[in-house]
Structure 1
Amino acid sequence: MQEPLVVIVRATITFFVIFLYARLIGKQQIGNFTMFDYINGITIGSIAATLATDLNMSAFIHWLALTVFLVLTILLQLVGLKSRLLSKVQDAEPVVLMEKGKILEKNLQKVRITKDELMVQLRTKNIFSPDEVEAALLEPDGSVSILLHSDYQYVQKKDLNVSSQRTKLTTEVLIEGELIEQNLRQRNIDYEWLLGQLKAKGIHRLEDVSYAAILPNDTLYVDLYDDQLDDEMNISDYPGPY
């Protein structure tokens, strides 16, 4: 019974030590999550887990190693603030992956990113045609920043001198056939309006609806379980298994 009690006490202490150290490191570690930050975080977590469960060694030894990692992490952050050169050595620089719609193969090879991975990053930015891209940069934290070609940049209301209105959020009203009455009331919509909208779309049973939501423009979006789609959008050339 003594060992479980010791583990509980050490785990509790470790929990609050990690909480305190995370506050000391600050939000920079989370906001700019580079590969170094990722590996450093895993190492600190591993030391903390050992501190909580390894009863064969003194807790002080593990706590000391944990503290050393914390101090070194904070020192590197301070060095990065003082020295631009050392900051670039620590966090690297952005790498241009595309320019004027052209893929820069040498830079892709340098950062070991495939064209398929680059296309995935473009699609996550709602870009499905590479020639829309003026520039694409791989940031130090692994994200890809995109600058659209001027022909494909979005026109904003201020460019057209159009008055703007308060933006609403999308409100879910049906999930897995279950009605969310509270959300209907929040949007000042009654049940009869919802039924009328569904009937206008040829839907007569709530059980057929997988997901329905009132969009910011007060229209109803509906997704059914039976989507009745063809295979036209299948872009895979991999035969399986999946």
Structure 2
Amino acid sequence: MNEGLVVFVRSIIAFFTLLIFAKILGKQQISQLTFFDYVLGITIGSIAASLTTDLSSRAWPHWVGLLSWALLGYLMEYISMKWRYAAKYIEGEPTIVIMNGKIMERAMRKMKYTAADIMGLLRSKDVFDLTQVDFAIIEPNGQLSVLKKAEYEPLTAKDMNISKTSTGISTELIYDGMIISENLRQLDKDKNWLKSQLKKQGIKKVSEVFLATLTPSGSLYIDKYDDHIKKVTDIGDYKGPY
């Protein structure tokens, strides 16, 4: 009982200590964290866990360790903000991996990236053809920034001097074969309307549909469980001889 109470009190101390340190160190999203930030967060979390459950030692040494790591992290942030030269070594700097459409093999090897890694990152940016890429840059947080060649850049409404209305956000009407009635009501639609739209696409039962969404502008998307795709394209790495 006493041990449980001690753990409870230590948990409260660790929780609010982490909350304060998180406020001080900033609010970077996970996708924006550099490798250094990631390791710092794991280490601080590990020390906080020890502070909570390690009853074989007193709490204050753990708390001092927690404070020390947080202060060092804050100091590194301050140095990075004040001196760009130091930030280059602490946080890293962007690295060009494709320049003028050519892959920079040396830069990739230096960063321990493979061609498959770059292809995967390009696909996450909706680029499936390397011939469209002019520049690709690995940012310090590991994300890829892509500049397409001018002829592959999409035209915007501003380029065409055309005014457009917003399409709005897609709302789920069917999810995993189940109708979401509340979302239908929000869009001023009913089940009869939805079933009539399904019939237009040759769908007899709602249970055939994996996902159906609708935008306020009226754009309806329907995906069935059975897509009738006879041959699935394999974009994986070469698996070697069998």
TM-score by length of 2: 0.94
SS of alignment partner, residue 157 of structure 1: coil
Amino acid paired to 1:219: S
Amino acid paired to 1:182: E
Q: Distance in 2 between matches of 1:165 and 1:209?
A: 29
Tell me by how many angstroms 1:173 deviates: 0.1
- 8 Å CA contact 1:100–1:131 kept in 2: the answer is no
Amino acid paired to 2:194: L
Tell me by how many angstroms 1:28 deviates: 4.0
Amino acid paired to 1:95: T
Q: Unaligned 5+ residue runs, structure 1?
A: none
Tell me by how many angstroms 1:176 deviates: 1.6
- 8 Å CA contact 1:29–1:37 kept in 2: the answer is no
SS of alignment partner, residue 158 of structure 2: helix
Q: Distance in 2 between matches of 1:236 and 1:173?
A: 33
Q: Summarize the Cα distance change of 1:166–1:175 in structure 2 as closer, same or farther, 3 Å threshold.
A: same
Q: Distance in 1 between matches of 2:238 and 2:128?
A: 20
- 8 Å CA contact 2:170–2:213 kept in 1: the answer is yes
Once the two structures are superposed, what CA deviation does each residue of 1:146-196 show, in whole Å capped at 9, x if it has no partner? 011101111110111111213311111001221111211222223222111
Q: Unaligned 5+ residue runs, structure 2?
A: none
Q: Which residue in 2 is equivalent to 1:176?
A: 176
RMSD: 1.7
TM-score by length of 1: 0.94
Q: Which residue in 1 is equivalent to 2:111?
A: 111
Q: Summarize the Cα distance change of 1:55–1:89 in structure 2 as closer, same or farther, 3 Å threshold.
A: same
Q: Which residue in 2 is equivalent to 1:147?
A: 147
| Structure 1 residue ranges (4+ consecutive) displaced by more than 3 angstroms after TM superposition | 28-32, 236-240
Amino acid paired to 2:54: D
Q: Which residue in 1 is equivalent to 2:195?
A: 195
Q: Which residue in 1 is equivalent to 2:4?
A: 4
Q: Which residue in 2 is equivalent to 1:123?
A: 123
Tell me by how many angstroms 1:82 deviates: 1.1
Pair 1:164 & 2:164 matched: yes
Query: Percent of aligned pairs with the same residue?
Result: 40
Q: Distance in 2 between matches of 1:161 and 1:238?
A: 46
Q: Summarize the Cα distance change of 1:208–1:184 in structure 2 as closer, same or farther, 3 Å threshold.
A: same
- 8 Å CA contact 1:212–1:223 kept in 2: the answer is yes
Pair 1:135 & 2:146 matched: no
Q: Distance in 1 between matches of 2:87 and 2:168?
A: 41
Q: Distance in 1 between matches of 2:108 and 2:6?
A: 51
Pair 1:22 & 2:22 matched: yes
SS of alignment partner, residue 221 of structure 1: strand
Q: Distance in 2 between matches of 1:223 and 1:181?
A: 18
Number of residue pairs the alignment of both structures matches: 240
Q: Summarize the Cα distance change of 1:216–1:132 in structure 2 as closer, same or farther, 3 Å threshold.
A: farther
